[in-house]
Amino acid sequence: MRVLVVEDEDSIASFVVKGLTAEGHTVERASTAADGIGLGTTFDFDLVLLDLMLPDGNGIDVLRQIRAVRPELPVIIVSALGETDDKVDLLDAGADDYLVKPFAFAELAARVRAATRQGAAASGELRVGDLTLNTRTRVAHRGDDIHVDLPSREYVLLEYLMRHVGQVLTRQQLLDAVWGIGFDSGSNVVDVYVSYLRRKLDRPDEPSVIETIRGAGYRVRA
C-alpha cells in the first residue's frame, strides 16, 4: 500500500515512515502543505496521514484540496490538537479518522488498517497506478484499453498482490494466502497464475504490472 505522510517534524516523520515501511508499505513524505497538496492530488496513494500544523499552511486546507480531487482517498489526521471541537471540525471537513499526538505506533497501524478496509469497501475498487480492480464485479481495468473479467483464483491472487502493493511476496506467502496453508510448496501454480495475469493485463513493450524479484518472489509495481 502507498502511504503519503504529511508531517514537518523530522522525528515524528521518521518514526512513522520507519514503522509503516517495516509493515510492508511504500511511504512518501511531504514536509509542507504545498508538497502535501501536490503529491496527494497528483499521484495514486492509498492513504494520507496528515498533520495540521504545517510551516506554510493549515492541514485542513490540504485535506480540502485532496478531497476535491480524490474524494474516496482515506485521510487520517495526526495532530497535537486533541479538543473535541477540533476533531469534529476535521471529521466534518472530510477526514476519516483523527489520532492525537503522542501515540503508540500499534494504534496508528490499527487505524491505518481500519481506514483502508473502509475505503476499499466504500469504493469497491483497489487502484495501483493505471491498474484498477473492482472488488464487487471482479473486473480488472488498465486505463481505457484493457478490461478483463477474472476467474476466481486469478482475482484472489491479483487482489492479494494489490493489497500489498510494493511489498515483495514470496511464493509460499502467495500459496498460503490464495491456495491455503498446506498446499504443496513444491508446486509451480503461483508462477502459472502470475503468467495468466500478465498475459491479460500487460501491454507490449511495457514492464509487466507484476514484477519478478529474482530469488524472492513477486510484487505489483507501485
Higher-confidence residue of 86 and 200: namely: 200
pLDDT at 42 over 60: yes
Q: How far apart are CA 27 and CA 7, in angstroms?
A: 12
Q: Which residue has the cell 500478465?
A: 198
Q: What is the mean pLDDT of the chain?
A: 86
pLDDT digits (tens, 9 = 90+) for 48-85: 999 989 999 988 899 989 888 888 788 999 988 766 67
pLDDT of residue 84: 65
Which of 28, 17, 210 has its CA nearest to residue 109?
A: 17
> How do 57-58 and 26-30 pair as beta strands?
unpaired
The answer to whether the CB of 23 falls within 8 A of the CB of 44 is no
Q: Candidates 3.40.50.10190, 3.40.1410.10, 3.40.1640.10, 1.10.10.10; correct CATH number of 125-220?
A: 1.10.10.10
Looking at residue 209, its pLDDT comes to 93
| Model confidence, pTM | 0.56
pLDDT tens string 112-129? 887 766 655 555 778 888
Q: Is the pLDDT of residue 86 over 70?
A: no
| Pairwise CA distance, residues 2 & 199, whole Å | 25
Give me the residue spans of the domains in the chain.
2-122, 125-220
CA dihedral 20, 25, 31, 32 (to 10 degrees): -130
pLDDT of 135 higher than 70: yes
CATH fourth-level superfamily of 2-122: Response regulator (3.40.50.2300)
- Beta-ladder partners of 217: 213
Residue 59's nearest CA partner among 8, 13, 114 is 8
